Amino acid sequence: MIVVGGGVIGLGIAWRAAGAGVHVVVVDPQPGRGSSWAAAGMLAPVTEVHYGEVPLLRLNIASLQRYGAFVGDLEAASDVAVGYRRCGTLLVARDRDDDAALAETLAFQQRLGLSVTRLRAREVQELEPALVPSVRSGILIEGDHQVDNRSVVAALTAACLKGGVVFEKHSAVRVEADQGAVSGVRLSDGRVVPAGQVVIAAGARSSEIAGAADLPVRPVKGQLLHLRTRDGRAPVTRNVRGLDVYMVPRPDGRLVVGATVEEQGFDATVTAGAVHDLLRAAYELVPGISEMELVEIAVGHRPGTPDNAPLLGPTSIQGLIAATGHYRNGISLLPVTVDAIVGLLTTGEVVDEIIPFSPLRFSPVEQPL
Amino acid sequence: MGDPLVIADHVFSSRLIIGTGGAPSLGSLEEAVAASGAEMATVALRRVDPSARGSILGVLERTGCKILPNTAGCFTAKDAVTTAGLARQALGTDWIKLEVIGDDKTLLPDPVGLLDAAETLIDDGFIVLAYTNDDPILARRLESLGCAAVMPLGSPIGSGMGIRNPYNIRLITEAARVPIILDAGIGTASDAALAMELGCDAVLVASAITRAERPAVMAEAIRKGVEGGRAAWGAGRIPRRLYAEPSSTFEGLPDLE
């Protein structure tokens, strides 16, 4: 089989499928250097819950429940530590307006039965003393964690290589089909790699591959900053989210600050406005960041879909399976996606969990005559 | 069409205009636009790449909305004029919702930059719909410059605080000879109804719909608010009185003595 796309989703599927005895080819000109690399690795679906996206929240929670076991297996298979930290996430309000917004979020979270704790200003301050003293209130979400996404990329790459996965470092140009069934993938160098099963896990590029069922995925640009302290200790100990910005501290003292959400196609320009807005929003919450070194500005393209939820499962073409469109949740949805898609590849069964995320859900329904 | 809204010779049957900022997903935006019945939607050109596939513009084309580019995010007249030029080039329209923002805490319009940019754009053949403060004199100045519509705010963008100075909105609508579109501050359907009862010709709503828990339901509610308010404005409301006035008179009642 072929996996088109070597981000965490494609690599995860390739690793597990190879472990199940399948011969796997991953097609990607630069494996692991797309949105998986640019991401911040925050695993925070409860913190970032949105109205109208409850099924996506449930899928995320199912995925997070498997995270510990998934990274345990991955670290053992690859010998690479992935920095999975059960650190919790603190959502903070700067002022009274933010506090009103947090109250609404809290009410929604509680209605959904999620485990969250409202904190008064002083309690927030005690948890994270680097926060600006004027912080008004907070919500502690103890179940929202983080992983070092770049280490996940490295670990998955190593595990794939050990598992015998073959890498074709070219772009996939077209999915070849014969009488409505997949027969292989044509590469940018003209060769065709034959296969009876093809998984499209090409993220924002998924809609650019000819013959790949016109998956409704668009790029949504994000810019993130990497800051670093000199003493190797990040100013906060857990993920901190304000209304306009989030900060993810790494054990090496890095602080990932993100992210813009821009409908700008595949534009990858680093803009002064984004750096300014992110730094200002982060500085308003943690003034101490002004002393940090700005070491990197990352740009990525999230694979956005019309309802912000992924495309998982069989498509209209026999043998062509979608595992894409994860938008802001590619890292957090990794375990559940890999389990469901590898299960589908090896047993042919579509698990209940992914039925609401069928790639066919946007197709016009055929009306009976 | 019974009671059309006419802006610069373009006829609309809906008096609700949708702003697209803050939509949680393109799918929910599409549902909300459909439920609103809006025939025009405004898009921040600085936040959308017009050439990107599957974008917000595709959604609006599918719903049949006229696209009204805006200059949100511009803090000087020069930026707004440049952005309007880019919009004209990218979208092939002379229509522009002109915003010149004073600061990013309040997002209130900068009146001096606004007049300056409006004049430049009108001289350059643009059809300008000007987002402005609820200042009757400024509204009149914008109209006399040649703006196709004047768009006073009810309260700051995204605040949902409704119409803080109904008296000024009334002064603006009474004096105007171009359409007055209440822009910014609408929080819910009753705010939209009030705008129409004050004589506004249309209402522009973004956050109140896109950030609602159920955007499509709120879109329909606000559509009905606009329709109800418009009808009430034309129906001639009764005067307010300090004391009661019985709704039935005593004439013709049986004498029970």
Residue A368 belongs to some domain of the structure = no
Which residues on A lie below 8 Å from B48 (Cβ)?
A: 263-264
Is domain B5-235 given the CATH code 3.20.20.70 in the classification?
yes
The enclosing domain of A196 has a CATH number of: 3.50.50.60
Residue A88 has pLDDT above 60, yes or no: yes
Residue A52 belongs to some domain of the structure = yes
A51/A178 same-domain check: yes
**B105 counts as catalytic:** no
Residue A369 has pLDDT above 60, yes or no: no
CA A312 to chain centre: 14
Taking an 8 Å cut-off on Cβ atoms, the answer to whether B48 and A219 are in contact is no
Residue A369 belongs to some domain of the structure = no
Q: Mean pLDDT, to the nearest integer, of A268-288? A: 96
Residue A19 belongs to some domain of the structure = yes
For A260, nearest residue in chain B (alpha carbons):
B47
Which residues on B lie below 8 Å from A307 (Cβ)?
A: 25-28
Residue A207 belongs to some domain of the structure = yes
Domain containing A269: what range?
218-304
A319/A211 same-domain check: yes
Q: Mean pLDDT, to the nearest integer, of A178-190? A: 94
Give the count of Cβ contacts less than 8 A between chain A and B: 53
Return mean pLDDT, chain A: 95
Residue A157 belongs to some domain of the structure = yes
Q: Could you give the number of structural domains in chain A? A: 3
A69/A166 same-domain check: yes
A348/A316 same-domain check: yes
Distance from CA of A230 to the nearest CA of B (A): 33
What tens digit of pLDDT does each residue of A36-66 get?
A: 999 999 999 999 999 989 999 999 999 999 9
Taking an 8 Å cut-off on Cβ atoms, the answer to whether A219 and B214 are in contact is no
Residue with tokens 């309802």: A307
A180/A50 same-domain check: yes
B→A interface, C-beta within 8 Å: 24-28, 30, 47-49, 51-56, 212-215
The enclosing domain of A270 has a CATH number of: 3.30.9.10
Give the separation between CA B134 and CA B147, rounded to whole angstroms. Answer: 16
A99/A201 same-domain check: no
* Domain end among A124, A142, A160: A142
Give the separation between CA B232 and CA B162, rounded to whole angstroms. Answer: 19
What tens digit of pLDDT does each residue of A190-202 get?
A: 999 999 999 999 9
Q: What is the pLDDT of residue B243?
A: 87
What tens digit of pLDDT does each residue of B86-131 get?
A: 999 988 899 999 999 999 889 999 999 999 999 999 999 999 999 9
A138/A171 same-domain check: no
Distance from CA of A32 to the nearest CA of B (A): 24
* Domain end among A264, A282, A304: A304
What tens digit of pLDDT does each residue of B1-54 get?
A: 578 999 998 999 999 999 988 888 888 889 999 999 999 999 888 777 777 667
A229/A111 same-domain check: no
Identify the residue among A56, A263, A269 best suited for mutation to test binding to B, counting B beta carbons within 10 A and taking the highest. A263
The model's confidence at residue A364, banded by pLDDT at 50, 70 and 90, is: low
Residue A367 belongs to some domain of the structure = no
Sign of CA dihedral B78, B81, B83, B89: negative
Can you tell me the ipTM of this complex?
Answer: 0.72
A234/A163 same-domain check: no
The 3-state DSSP class for residue A142 equals coil
Taking an 8 Å cut-off on Cβ atoms, the answer to whether B24 and A267 are in contact is no
Which residues on A lie below 8 Å from B28 (Cβ)?
A: 52, 307
Strand partners, A102: none
Residue B254 has pLDDT above 80, yes or no: no
A208/A300 same-domain check: no
* Domain end among A284, A304, A324: A304
A138/A153 same-domain check: no
A154/A69 same-domain check: yes
pTM of this structure: 0.85
For B104, nearest residue in chain A (alpha carbons):
A277
In percent, the amount of chain A with pLDDT more than 90 equals 93
Distance from CA of B206 to the nearest CA of A (A): 16
